Each structure stands twice: as structure tokens, then as C-alpha cells.
């Protein structure tokens, strides 16, 4: 019998994980990407945290009061490209609406639902590849140096309520875990079950190679348009067309260009983020450390110490902002002595919806098209579970999850 053909646009962590779970169900899969997997996308440059605890969203009542001060501070975690502000206004208005306590709790509940399954879903993919030395089980630590615990009290309380495991740390406990961090901190929290990647790009490529080994096809192509041959989706570049039975759009922050073509208005924006490396400095810490007030983190990786941070609203076309790089350098030096010149200045695009839930599910207008994008700060953690959900949706298998909260229909 002829196999059902599925095209997936975007071979980032979402696209590759969907492909691998769909292969388990014996579909014929073709992945499309304009770049080589593992090269430059968010799935390459992220902080490498597998963060099953991170269900408290950024849409929360207390954040609105903090935003003006954050924007005015040149070394704070938040930045704007002023030329992009007019385009951002509709997204910001939707975001503000989602900052009510009720909407925050809705997001926390449904992020927790999938985050809780994120690591077991990866286990199903990782057992088929050799990841020696690439995933560490040493937890993730957050520290802060202000004594105003109001927003953290809120976070800790919600995490307790939804059952996300956490351990509050005093100064001595922080020092015992990470003795090289300067003692500027006031307190911290430790997420013992979290893991980290020593090289997200390499893990992504290993998953991709497994997809090819199992008979998957990859075409390097910039997908420019979509249309339909009866109900069958057709992927088009400037010169070629490919017809499929089903289609998955997994283009991260770039997905909106294609969903607009399907006559669906989904308010996807990007939160731009940056990384740099301090070569040969990964031995300075044993696990990811996030400095919460300044909104940046450091992860020990194969490339050295990766310093990651910033939420910059500025769209997909603006160039990298040099002052954000400088900010990362200064922040890292605030926490660690003896850092050399940094290397590898990288800008990446987190795909974010204003309610901080991803879109996972069928398109509103076309029954053979499915979406998996909008995983914001957690797309690396959520790759495998989102792929597993997509594979179950496409094969009409029941799950015992509530999936409506991830539907794009919430924006109709
Ligand atoms: C600075 C930073 C730090 C982060 N840290 C973490 C972390 O520690 N933990 C965590 O869980 N998450 C983290 N994230 C978030 C995570 O990296 C992203 O949510 C995730 O990688 C998104 O994956 P994706 O597959 O949806 O998109 P992407 O990785 O962006 O992949 C999309 C792919 O689609 C392709 N594409 C786009 N348009 C087209 C087209 N028209 N035709 C063909 N191909 C196309 C692109 O080339 C790209 O390869 C971080 C993100 C950033 C930026």
C-alpha cells in the first residue's frame, strides 16, 4: 500500500522531532529547510536548558510594573528596536490582556501539562542515538541579588501549586554548588531534575541524521508559497512544486509568513536573543546558572562558556545590536573573574505568541495542514513532546491531554 506522504517545512528542533515521531508511525516524510540543519537557527544557539520546571510564563501581572524600568536600563534584560515599535503595538496590546492572573494561570497550567512530559518524550528519541557527553544531568540554578522577593514569591508559590519541583538555596548552598561565582547573590533556587545540552546544534544534527538513516528525505529549499491541489497541500519555491497528503509548518519565528498565506491571522512575533562564547571557560561552572535580575544565563558547553540572554523586540530583519553583546560580556564579568575576550556573536529568534502558549495543532482553514511553532523560551525543551503530539494528531490517535489550549483557533 502507498505510504501517506507528509511534508514538513522547517527542520529546526520542532520539525525534526515531528519527523522522527511521524516516522515511528510509518509515514513517508520530507523535511524542507532553506538552511542546513544545525547551522544558525534558534535550535542551534539557545542556552541548552531542558527546563521541565519552567511553566510560569512571562505574561504575568507583576511584569507590567517592571517593564518601564527594564527598558530604561541599558544593562537590563529587555530592549526595543525603536523602528519596530509601531509594528509591535498590536502584539503588545494582546500581551497586556494576557497578563491577568487568570490568563497567567491558564498558561502555567497548560505549559506544565506538556513540560511535565518533555523529558520522557526526548528519552524516546535519544535512546536511538549516541549522545555520550552531550547531555548533562546536573540541574539548573537561578540566583538573584536584589532582596525584593515579591515576584519570586509569586513564582515559587505557583510552582508549588502546580507541582513543579524546586529547592530554594541560601548563599552557602549556592557557593557549595558553584564556588567560582562571585558572592554577589542574595539567594537562589535549584531545579534538580533539569538537564542541559553541551552542544544543542550537535544534538539537533544527530537527531536529523537519524531521520535520514530511517529513510527520511531532506530538501534544501526556501519555501515561498503554499496552495492546494484539491485537498492536497502543495509546497512551492520559485521554480519547484511538491504535492503532499499532509503538511506541517514548523518554521519557528518565520512561520507567520506561511500561515498568512493560509488566510489565518496568528499574532506570532519574535523575542530576539543573543549568545557569545568564552572559549575554554566551561570548567568555571558545572551547570547552567541564570542571573535572574539581569535576565541572562551561562551554560558550560563544548564551545566554551556560552553566555545567553536579552529579550529584544525588533522583528526578523533588524541587524544584531552591538550594545546587547556588550551587555552580555559585562554581565558575565560581573559573575566570574578571569574571562578572556569573547567569541561568536550570535543573534537568534524566539517565536512567541502573546499568551506564551505554543501553537500545536491543525490549521483553521485546511484540514491537511498542521502547525508546530511559537514555543518562545522553551522550544528546545519542548521539541520532542510537541513532535509526539503532532504525530498523534496526524494519525488521529487519542491522547489524554487537553489540546485545545494550543490550537490556533484561540486567535480567531
Ligand atoms: C537566545 C535564546 C536562548 C534560548 N534558550 C533556550 C533554552 O535554554 N531552552 C529552551 O527550551 N529553549 C530555548 N530557546 C528557545 C528555543 O531555542 C526555540 O524556541 C526553538 O529552538 C524553536 O525551534 P523551532 O524548530 O520552532 O524554530 P527554529 O530553530 O528557528 O527553526 C526553524 C527552521 O525553519 C526554517 N525556515 C523558516 N522559514 C522557512 C521557509 N520559508 N522555507 C524553508 N525553511 C524555513 C529556518 O531556516 C529554521 O531552520 C532559546 C532561544 C534563544 C533565541
Tens of pLDDT, residues 262-285: 999 999 999 999 999 999 999 999
Q: What's the CA gap between 241 and 195, in Å, rounded?
A: 41
Mean pLDDT over the full length of the chain: 95
Identify whether the C-beta of residue 152 lies closer than 8 Å to the C-beta of residue 214.
Answer: no
The predicted structure's pLDDT at residue 338: 94
Q: pLDDT band at 101, cuts 50/70/90?
A: very high
What residues contact 93, with CB distance under 8 A and at least 6 apart? Answer: none
Q: Determine phi and psi for 251, rounding to 5 degrees.
A: -100, 20
The full DSSP string for 342-355 is -EEEEEEEEEE-TT
Q: What's the CA gap between 339 and 284, in Å, rounded?
A: 10
Q: What's the CA gap between 274 and 310, in Å, rounded?
A: 6
The answer to pTM > 0.95 is yes
- CA of 374 from ligand 1 middle (Å) equals 9
Identify whether the C-beta of residue 270 lies closer than 8 Å to the C-beta of residue 352.
Answer: yes
Identify whether the C-beta of residue 100 lies closer than 8 Å to the C-beta of residue 363.
Answer: no
Residue with cell 545590536: 321
Q: pLDDT band at 76, cuts 50/70/90?
A: confident
- CA of 386 from ligand 1 middle (Å) equals 13
Neighbours of 323 (CB within 10 A): 10
- CA of 120 from ligand 1 middle (Å) equals 21
Q: What percent of the chain has pLDDT over 90?
A: 87
DSSP one-letter code for 33: E
Q: pLDDT band at 146, cuts 50/70/90?
A: confident
Residue 7, ligand 1, Cβ within 6 A: no
Residue 122, ligand 1, Cβ within 6 A: no
- CA of 148 from ligand 1 middle (Å) equals 33
Residue 77, ligand 1, Cβ within 6 A: no
Q: What's the CA gap between 332 and 338, in Å, rounded?
A: 10
Q: What's the CA gap between 409 and 80, in Å, rounded?
A: 29
Residue 290, ligand 1, Cβ within 6 A: no
Question: Is the pLDDT reported for residue 156 higher than 90?
Answer: no
The predicted structure's pLDDT at residue 69: 76
Q: What's the CA gap between 264 and 259, in Å, rounded?
A: 6
The predicted structure's pLDDT at residue 198: 98
The predicted structure's pLDDT at residue 173: 98
Q: What's the CA gap between 296 and 47, in Å, rounded?
A: 10
Q: Which residue has the higher pLDDT, 111 or 64?
A: 111
Task: Express each pLDDT in 114-138 by its tens digit.
Answer: 999 999 999 999 999 999 999 999 9
Q: What's the CA gap between 357 and 95, in Å, rounded?
A: 12
Residue 375, ligand 1, Cβ within 6 A: yes
Residue with cell 549522545: 131
Which atom number of ligand 1 is nearest to the Cα of residue 39?
49
Residue 251, ligand 1, Cβ within 6 A: yes
Question: Is the pLDDT reported for residue 245 higher than 90?
Answer: yes
Q: What's the CA gap between 29 and 26, in Å, rounded?
A: 9
Residue 73, ligand 1, Cβ within 6 A: no
Q: Which residue has the higher pLDDT, 76 or 360?
A: 360
Question: Is the pLDDT reported for residue 152 higher than 70?
Answer: yes
Question: Is the pLDDT reported for residue 72 higher than 90?
Answer: no
Neighbours of 90 (CB within 10 A): 13
Residue 275, ligand 1, Cβ within 6 A: yes
Q: What's the CA gap between 114 and 325, in Å, rounded?
A: 33
The predicted structure's pLDDT at residue 158: 87
Neighbours of 277 (CB within 10 A): 19
Q: What's the CA gap between 326 and 13, in Å, rounded?
A: 29
The predicted structure's pLDDT at residue 211: 98
The predicted structure's pLDDT at residue 149: 65
Angle, alpha carbons 383-20-9 (nearest 5°) = 75
Q: What's the CA gap between 32 and 265, in Å, rounded?
A: 23
Residue 288, ligand 1, Cβ within 6 A: no
Residues 204-214, mean pLDDT to the nearest whole number: 98
Residue 40, ligand 1, Cβ within 6 A: no
Question: Is the pLDDT reported for residue 45 higher than 70?
Answer: yes
Residue identifier of the C-alpha nearest atom 21 of ligand 1: 43
Report residue 293 CA to chain centroid gap: 20
Q: What's the CA gap between 364 and 259, in Å, rounded?
A: 10
What residues contact 344, with CB distance under 8 A and at least 6 apart? Answer: 275, 276, 277, 303
Which atom number of ligand 1 is nearest to the Cα of residue 49?
8
- CA of 153 from ligand 1 middle (Å) equals 31
Name the least confident of 85-89, 201-205, 229-233, 290-294. Answer: 290-294
Task: Express each pLDDT in 367-410 by its tens digit.
Answer: 999 999 999 999 999 999 999 999 999 999 999 999 999 999 99
Which atom number of ligand 1 is nearest to the Cα of residue 224?
41
Q: Which residue has the higher pLDDT, 73 or 372?
A: 372
Q: What's the CA gap between 38 and 16, in Å, rounded?
A: 11
Amino acid at each position: 500500500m502507498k505510504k501517506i506522504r507528509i511534508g514538513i517545512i522547517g527542520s529546526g528542533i520542532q520539525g525534526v522531532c515531528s519527523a522522527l515521531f511521524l516516522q515511528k508511525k510509518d509515514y513517508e516524510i520530507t523535511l524542507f529547510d532553506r538552511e542546513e540543519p544545525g547551522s544558525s537557527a534558534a535550535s542551534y544557539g539557545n542556552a541548552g536548558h531542558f527546563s521541565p520546571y519552567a511553566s510560569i510564563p512571562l505574561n504575568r501581572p507583576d511584569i507590567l510594573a517592571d517593564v518601564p524600568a527594564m527598558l530604561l536600563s541599558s544593562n537590563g534584560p529587555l530592549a526595543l528596536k525603536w523602528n519596530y515599535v509601531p509594528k509591535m503595538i498590536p502584539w503588545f496590546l494582546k500581551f497586556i490582556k494576557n497578563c491577568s492572573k487568570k490568563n497567567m494561570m491558564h498558561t502555567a497550567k497548560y505549559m506544565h501539562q506538556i513540560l511535565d512530559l518533555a523529558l520522557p518524550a526526548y528519552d524516546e528519541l535519544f535512546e536511538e542515538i549516541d549522545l555520550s557527553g552531550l547531555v548533562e544531568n546536573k540541574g539548573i540554578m537561578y540566583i538573584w541579588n536584589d532582596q525584593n522577593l515579591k515576584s519570586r514569591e509569586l513564582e515559587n508559590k505557583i510552582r508549588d501549586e502546580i507541582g513543579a519541583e524546586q529547592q530554594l538555596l541560601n548563599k552557602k548552598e549556592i557557593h557549595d554548588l558553584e564556588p567560582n561565582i562571585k558572592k554577589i547573590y542574595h539567594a537562589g533556587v535549584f531545579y534538580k531534575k533539569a538537564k542541559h545540552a553541551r552542544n544543542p546544534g550537535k544534538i539537533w544534527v544527530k537527531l536529523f541524521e537519524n531521520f535520514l538513516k530511517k529513510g527520511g528525505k531532506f530538501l534544501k529549499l526556501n519555501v515561498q508559497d503554499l496552495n492546494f491541489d484539491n485537498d492536497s497541500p502543495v509546497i512551492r519555491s520559485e521554480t519547484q512544486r511538491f504535492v503532499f497528503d499532509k503538511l506541517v509548518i514548523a518554521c519557528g519565528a518565520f512561520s507567520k509568513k506561511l500561515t498568512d498565506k493560509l488566510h489565518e491571522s496568528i499574532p506570532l512575533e519574535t523575542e530576539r536573543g543573543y549568545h557569545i562564547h568564552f572559549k575554554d571557560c566551561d570548567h568555571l561552572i558545572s551547570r547552567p546558572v541564570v542571573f535572574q535580575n539581569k535576565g541572562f544565563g551561562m551554560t558550560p558547553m563544548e564551545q566554551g562558556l556560552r553566555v545567553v540572554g536579552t529579550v529584544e523586540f525588533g522583528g526578523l530583519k533588524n541587524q544584531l545590536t552591538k550594545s546587547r553583546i556588550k551587555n552580555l560580556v559585562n554581565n558575565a564579568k560581573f559573575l566570574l573573574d578571569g574571562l578572556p575576550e569573547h567569541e561568536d556573536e550570535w543573534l537568534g529568534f524566539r517565536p512567541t505568541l502573546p499568551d506564551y502558549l505554543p501553537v500545536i495543532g491543525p490549521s483553521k482553514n485546511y484540514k491537511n495542514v498542521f502547525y508546530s511553532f511559537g514555543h518562545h523560551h522553551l522550544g528546545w525543551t519542548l521539541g520532542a513532546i510537541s513532535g509526539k503530539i503532532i504525530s498523534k494528531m496526524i494519525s488521529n490517535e487519542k491522547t489524554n491531554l487537553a489540546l485545545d489550549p494550543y490550537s490556533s483557533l484561540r486567535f480567531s
